[in-house]
Amino acid sequence: MCGRFTLASDIDEFLRQYDIEVPDPLKKPRRYNLSPSQPVVGLVADPHLRLEVMEWGYLPAWAKPGAGMHTVINARIESIAEKKPYFRGAFHSARCAILADGFYEWKKIRGGKQPYRITLKDGGVFAFAGLWSHVNTGDGSERATCAIITVEPNELMADIHNRMPAILTPADLSVWLDPKARERDLYAAVEPYPSDLLRAYPVGTAMNSAAHDAPDCIAPIIDDEA
């Protein structure tokens, strides 16, 4: 699964390629330890491409207020392929791309778990494939929610964890957000990201606390790449 990620880089340069104006408060997110239930920034197409601030923890649009349904932070691509009702509608009409510049995963080691941060090898902002919804809150308002798509790990991630988030290349992002995209092209867009384009390095355990969101979360504890 993907349970924490980062967006500490400026996002305006990334979004310039999509001709999207970034509001000043969102240009420099500086989030070092994004956790479930917190607001995240994504791209949606409804029908034109735009930014949307969403709560990380998906509920289907048909969820009834007060029904006690649990939010979901990850959507396994296998569950979507099996046409699970929870995700079926969003897969066809409410796909999103969630902005990040890294994510965390924990590797089992003797005596515990070692957190790693995974980024693009060249650094910078990228996007996870996601699903999103507008949910009726029961007081006449709505809230936007989202989940990150996860896939089988690539070679790099297989040594750390048995799942990884679906990272979109620029071309795949365009496919994923295209309302007219064919189903087979959508599945092709979320193939595991190539290992040689990613880097992973161990970080300190301070980021284990969801309440801790500071630059030391992303600092490597050794100089060498893992």
pLDDT for 130-156, tens place per residue?
A: 999 998 877 778 899 999 999 999 999
Partners of residue 40 on adjacent β-strands: 54
pLDDT less than 50: residues of the chain: 223-226
At residue 136, the pLDDT reads: 84
**Hey, which residues are catalytic here?**
2, 105
d(CA 53, CA 129): 15
Partners of residue 113 on adjacent β-strands: 108
- Report the SS3 class of residue 5: strand
Q: Is the pTM of this model over 0.75?
A: yes
């289907």: which residue's tokens? Answer: 60
Report whether 126 contacts 156 (CB < 8 A): no
Q: DSSP characters for 51-114? A: EEEEEESB--TTPPTTS-PPPBSEEEHHHHHTT-HHHHHHHHH-EEEEEESEEEEEEEETTEEE
At residue 217, the pLDDT reads: 98
**If you compute the radius of gyration of the chain from its CA atoms, what whole number of angstroms results?**
17
At residue 225, the pLDDT reads: 46
d(CA 51, CA 44): 6
Q: Which domains does the chain have, with CATH numbers?
A: 5-218 (3.90.1680.10)
**How does DSSP classify residue 22?**
P
At residue 224, the pLDDT reads: 47
